[in-house]
Amino acid sequence: MTDQYLAHVANELEQIKSSGLWKAERQMLSPQSGKVQVEGNNSSAGVINLCANNYLGLANDPRLIAAVKQAMDSHGYGMASVRFICGTQDLHRKLEQSIAAYLGKDDSILFASCFDANGGLFEPLLSDQDAIVSDSLNHASIIDGIRLCKAKRYRYQNSDMTDLESQLKQARNDGARFIMIATDGVFSMDGYLANLPDITALAKKYEALVMVDDCHATGVIGKGGRGTASHFRVDDGVDVITGTLGKALGGAIGGFIAGAAPLIDLLRQRARPYLFSNALPPGVVAAGIEAIRLTESDNSMRQQLNDNTAFWRQGLSALGYELLQGEHPIIPVMLGDAKLAQSMSQHLFEQGVYASGFFYPVVPQGKARIRTQMSAAHSRQDLERALDAFEKAGKLSGALA
Ligand SMILES: *Cc1c(COP(=O)(O)O)cnc(C)c1O
> Are 324 and 345 found together in one domain?
yes
Domain that holds residue 85: 62-297
Domain count, the chain: 2
- Where among 297, 316, 331 does a domain terminate? 297
Say if CB 112 and CB 273 are below 8 A apart.
yes
Report the relative pairing of strands 322-323 and 255-259 from DSSP bridges: unpaired
d(CA 216, CA 372): 14
> Are 78 and 38 found together in one domain?
no
Ligand 1 geometric centre to CA of 244 (Å): 6
Report the relative pairing of strands 107-111 and 255-259 from DSSP bridges: antiparallel
CATH number at residue 318: 3.90.1150.10
Ligand 1 geometric centre to CA of 6 (Å): 32
> Are 112 and 160 found together in one domain?
yes
Residues 6+ apart with CB under 8 A from 175: none
Ligand 1 geometric centre to CA of 40 (Å): 28
Query: Catalytic annotation on 23?
Result: no
> Are 274 and 377 found together in one domain?
no
Phi, psi torsion values for 149, nearest 5 degrees = -105, 150
Query: Catalytic annotation on 188?
Result: yes
d(CA 248, CA 217): 8
User: Taking the model in full, what pTM does it have?
Assistant: 0.97
> Are 192 and 245 found together in one domain?
yes
- Per-residue pLDDT tens, the chain, 401 aa: give them: 999 999 999 999 999 999 888 888 999 999 999 999 999 887 888 999 999 999 999 999 999 999 999 999 999 999 999 999 999 999 999 999 999 999 999 999 999 999 999 999 999 999 999 999 999 999 999 999 999 999 999 999 999 999 999 999 999 999 999 999 999 999 999 999 999 999 999 999 999 999 999 999 999 999 999 999 999 999 999 999 999 999 999 999 999 999 999 999 999 999 999 999 999 999 999 999 999 999 999 999 999 999 999 999 999 999 999 999 999 999 999 999 999 999 999 999 999 999 999 999 899 999 999 999 999 999 999 999 999 999 999 999 999 98
> Are 97 and 198 found together in one domain?
yes
- Where among 267, 297, 327 does a domain terminate? 297
- Where among 261, 280, 297 does a domain terminate? 297
Mutation test residue for ligand 1: of 113, 215, 328, the one with most atoms within 8 Å of CB: 215
- Ligand 1: residues whose CB is within 6 Å? 113-115, 118, 139, 141, 184, 188, 213, 215-216, 244, 246, 255
